[in-house]
Amino acid sequence: MKILQTTKLRPQLQYPYYCCEFETASFTDADFAAHQIIFPTQLNKAVDKRKAEYLAGRVCAKHVLAALKIYNFELISAADRAPIWPNKIVGSITHSQQTAMAMVAHSTDIAGIGIDIEQLMSAKQELELQKQILHPDEFFQFQRLAKQVSHPLTVIFSAKESVFKALYPSVKQFFGFEAAKLIAFNERQLQFKITQTLSEQVPQDTCVTVFYQCNNEQVLTECEFKPLVKNF
């Protein structure tokens, strides 16, 4: 399977990243060895599409860790399926269709990072999935956003996925879409407020910013989390 670097999506956050395109149809299990990625046992019964996506994401992670001079690191997954990054490193991996990306940062700079790529939803999906994705109090902002972007629900869905990934290292538990509410936005950023206390580091009313961009096929969102420093 060919895995080739692409620049069609350029993140706005200034952290090392690597983005690639890959051909799912040509995947074989031998591609793991070809790219020097250990095949995880949890994928033994997975379909080829899932294996290809996992491999592409790990290849991106391998390249981006090399940018930090971290080589030959075996990026395995924890029981919760989250990648176990090297000591003092936070990172995020995303894949959608035949695009994958990884981004990393030093944990001395931020507590968590989240990136997400999504294919644009159909008009039917944008309508039918609103109640599952939107907080009851964010419909007004959603309607405003709909005047600015063609696929507002895809943008918000992707943004909340990035928020989840960025906050998860500080929360260590799963939380739903209702835990983040869109309160403001501009042409490049979305601002969300956390609607419930998720942990000591992420109390209720915490605000997080998500960068977003769209092309004709996809949405890319990015979120970094820096906990507030308490003054004693």
Provide the annotated binding site.
50, 58, 94-95, 116-118, 161, 165
- β 99-106/89-96 pair status: antiparallel
Q: Which of 42, 39, 53 is nearest to 99 (CA)?
A: 53
Binding residues for Mg(2+): 116-118
Question: In a 3-state reduction of DSSP, which class is residue 31?
Answer: helix
CB 166 within 8 A of CB 114: yes
Tokens read off for 173: 């538990």
Strand partners for 118: 219
Binding annotation for CoA: 50, 58, 94-95, 116, 161, 165
CA distance 162 to 156: 10
DSSP state of 199: S
* DSSP of 81-116: S-B-PPTTEEEEEEEETTEEEEEEEETTT-SEEEEE
138: tokens are 């964010």
- Half-sphere exposure of 100 toward its Cβ, with a 13 Å CA cutoff? 27
